Amino acid sequence: MLTLKEIQDLMVELKDWSLESNSIIKDFSFNNFKESLDFVNKVGEIAEKQGHHPDIIINCDLVRLSLITHSENAISKKDFDLAKEIDKL
């Protein structure tokens, strides 16, 4: 489990992610549902490789990812590692 200071320090390394409650969140906009779905499938591949899975909401051309380490019920380094890989897409 990370401290609030550690979380804040790691947040500056991410682009356009925000801290909400006990998760890090990012919204992604696309031109249509198919592009949203393609993105989600790519995120799924990364998540499977890392063994760490985001909460995902798809709303037509908007995808919201929420990262939390469920086993710890807190934000961990795993969440930041996954966010960095997602941002490479």
Q: Find the CATH number of the domain harbouring 66.
A: 3.30.1360.20
Residue 82 lies in a domain: no
- Average pLDDT, consecutive stretches of 10 residues, N- to C-terminus, the chain (89 residues): 93 96 96 98 98 96 97 95 97
Taking residue 43's Cβ as centre, other Cβ atoms within 10 Å add up to: 20
Residue 83 lies in a domain: no
Q: Could you tell me the pTM of the whole model?
A: 0.93
Phi, psi of 58 (to 5 degrees): -110, 125
